[in-house]
Amino acid sequence: MALQWTFVATFMYIEIGVVILLLLPFVSPGRWQKIFRSRLVSNVSSYSHIYFNVFIAILLLLFVDSIREVHKYSGPTEQVDLKHNPDAANLAMMRLFRAQRNFYISGFALFLWFIIRRLLTLINEEAKSAAQCEAYRKQAESATEAAKRLMEEKDNTVNKGKEYDDLDPEEKSLAMKLDQTKETLVKTKEELKKTKVDLETLKSQATSTNNEYDRLLREHEKLQEKVENEGSKKDN
3-state secondary structure 83-119: CCCHHHHHHHHHHHHHHHHHHHHHHHHHHHHHHHHHH
Q: What is the pLDDT of residues 138-168, one digit of tens each?
A: 888 887 887 777 777 666 655 555 555 555 6
Contacts of the segment 140-149: beta carbons below 8 A, 24+ positions apart: none
Q: Using 70 as the pLDDT threshold, list the residues of the chain that sit under it.
A: 1, 40-48, 75-89, 153-175, 231-236
Residue ranges of domains in the chain: 3-142, 183-236
d(CA 146, CA 153): 11
Give the predicted TM-score (pTM) of the model. Answer: 0.50
Residue 80, phi-psi category: left (phi > 0), alpha (psi -120 to 50), beta (remainder): beta
- Residue 51, classed as helix, strand or coil, is helix
Closest CA to 15 of 59, 57, 46: 59
State residue 92's pLDDT score.
73
